[in-house]
Chain A
Amino acid sequence: MSKAEEKEKTENAEKHEWEPKIVGFLCRWCSYAGADLAGSSRIEYPPNVRVIRVPCSGRVNPLHVLRAFRKGADAVLVAGCHPGDCHYSEGNYYARRRLDVLKELLEFIGIEPERFRLEWCSASEARRFADVITEVTGQVKKLGPLNPKENKNG
C-alpha cells in the first residue's frame, strides 16, 4: 500500500469512526446564549450535540431525558443558569433535584454516569460550554455506544 493510499485509508477510518449522539437541553437565557457566544467567538467543539432550546432547565421533563436514551442517545446534557442566576429565580434548583434523582436511577439500571450530565453554564461561559461538549464527547467515545438493545453485556 502506498503512503497516499494508507493516508486515505486512515482518513476514511477516522471519518467513519463511530460518532456518539448527544442530546443537549439548553436553557435559552444562559446556556443557549453561552453556546451562541462560543459561535461568535469561533470556538470549535465536536459536532455531536443536538441542541433543544428550552426556556429553563426547570422546563426539562425527566421523561424527555429518558426518551432520549430510549431513542438512542449516547449521552444527554442538560445545561442551565448557575444556581442563583435563574431567569425565573428557581427553575434550576428544581432541575437540580429532579435530575440528581434521575441520574441515580439511570446509573442504577446501568447507564454510566458520564452519559448524563447536568451543567451550569452562563451566557458568558462560551469556553466552558465548548469544553463541556468536548469532554462529554470524549468520555462517551471511550464508553462506546449505548444501545440497550444490542449492548446487553455492556
Chain B
Amino acid sequence: MDKSKNLRETAKTLLSEGAVKSIIGYKKGRFPFYLQPAIIKDPEEAASLVFTPLSRQNLVSFIKKAAKPVGVVVKGCDLRSLVDLLQEHQIGRGDVRIIGVTCAGVLKGDALEHDPRFKPAEIKDVVEDDGRIKVITSSGEFEMPEDSMMEKCRSCSVHAPYLYDDLIGGGEPGKAPGPPAYPGVEEIEKMTPGEKRAFWLDMFSRCIRCNACRQACPLCFCEECVMDEAKPRWVTAEVDPVENLFAHLIRIYHSAGRCVSCGECERACPVGIPLSLLYNKAAKEVNELFGYNPGVDPEAQPAMLTYRLEDPECKSCLGGRNL
C-alpha cells in the first residue's frame, strides 16, 4: 500500500470535514534525501505530505504550537511521547487526532551520505518496499542494509501504533510495547568509576550548550526551562566539561519515568554526544526499579509521580539494617 497516498487522502478528508484544524506531517525538503516537518491547515496542502523511511523526526514536539484539534502523524515509537503528553496534561485526548502510520524503520541521519554506491546528488527518492528500504537514484535502485536504520528501529517492537484514530499503511494494529532495549548502557555500567568519569568528561567536552537536544525533545514542554531560571541559577553559561555534564544531568533526571527513548536528542546533537546512553540509563532504572514503561498507558501515572510501598530500598542504604 502506498502510505503517502493513503496519508494524503486521510489528511485531506480530516481537514475538509473539519475534524481537525491542522495536521502535523512530513513533506519533502529541498533535497530528495531529507524530509521536513509541515504543519498544514488547508485541505489542498495535504497533497504535499509524504511518509517514507526518511520520516525520522518525532513530530509530537510540534503539537503544543499547532491549532487544535490537531492531527499528528506518528510512528509507533513517536506515539509513546504523545502518550506522555496526554499523561502530563499537555494536550487533551479530544484535541489530538492520532494519525498512526505503520513503519518498517527509518534511516539513520547519515546513512545516505556515506553510502559508497551512490552520491547524494543522484538520489531521486527513498521508498519502503515490503519492509525493505530502497533508494532510487539516477544510476539505479539500491536496497539499504539493515544497519543503515536507526538503532531504535533495529530493535523496534512497535512497527504499528497501538493507539490511533486513523491507521495509515494498513495491517494489524500494534500491541502496547514492552520496555525498549537500552543499547550500550551495559558497557558503560561495566566501567570503573574513573573510566566513567573520563568517558563522560571527554564526551561533554564537546558540548557547545546549543540546547538542540532540549529543543528536539518532545517532552520538554516547560514554559521556561529550569536551566534558564535565575533564582536559583542552576547552571552557569560556562562551557566546561563538568558544568556541561551537570547541566545535562538535570535534563536526564527530569526525563526519568517520562523519556520514551525516541532518540531525538541524540539525533539533534550537532557534536555527536551519545545522549541516548544517559537517557536510556534513566529509563532502564525506572523500568528495573519500578516496573514502569513510559508512554504506554495514557491513564497511568508517570513513575516519578507515584510510589509503591514495596519499592526497592536505595542500594547502598541500610534500609533499616543496624550498623
Q: Do A and B bind each other?
A: yes
A residues bordering B, Cβ < 8 Å? 62-63, 66-67, 69-70, 82-84, 90, 93-94, 96-105, 107-114, 116-120, 128, 131-132, 135, 148-149, 151-154
Can you give 19 A-B contacts (C-beta < 8 A)?
A66-B246, A67-B234, A83-B309, A97-B289, A97-B290, A101-B253, A101-B282, A101-B304, A105-B253, A109-B245, A109-B249, A110-B194, A113-B316, A118-B314, A120-B319, A132-B323, A153-B194, A154-B193, A154-B194
Q: What separation, in Å, do the CA atoms of A119 and B189 have in the docked complex? A: 24
- B47 interface residue (CB < 8 Å to A): no
> Would B316 and A117 count as touching, CB distance under 8 A?
yes
Q: A62-B253, A63-B253, A103-B316 are in contact. Are A93 and B193 (CB under 8 A)?
A: no
Q: How far is the CB of A118 from chain B (nearest CB, A)?
A: 4
Partner of B189 from the list A96, A108, A114, A154 (CB cut-off 8 Å) is A108
Q: How far is the CB of B256 from chain A (nearest CB, A)?
A: 5
Best-buried of B286, B307, B308, B312 by chain A (most CB within 10 Å): B307
> Would B242 and A100 count as touching, CB distance under 8 A?
no
Q: What separation, in Å, do the CA atoms of A34 and B148 have in the docked complex? A: 59
Encode contact with A along B190-207: 1 for CB under 8 Å, 0 otherwise.
011111111111000000
Range class of the B interface residue count: 35 or more
Q: What separation, in Å, do the CA atoms of A11 and B191 have in the docked complex? A: 38
Interface contacts beyond A69-B246, A99-B314, A113-B315: sample of 20 additional A-B pairs, CB < 8 Å, sorted by A: A66-B246, A66-B250, A67-B234, A70-B243, A70-B246, A93-B307, A93-B311, A96-B313, A101-B282, A104-B281, A104-B282, A104-B289, A108-B281, A109-B245, A120-B319, A128-B322, A135-B323, A148-B245, A149-B242, A154-B197
Which residue of B has the minimal Cβ distance to A58? B307
> Would B311 and A148 count as touching, CB distance under 8 A?
no
Which residue of A has the minimal Cβ distance to B232? A67
B residues bordering A, Cβ < 8 Å? 188-189, 191-201, 226, 234, 242-243, 245-246, 249-250, 252-253, 256-257, 278, 281-282, 285-286, 289-290, 303-304, 307-309, 311-320, 322-323
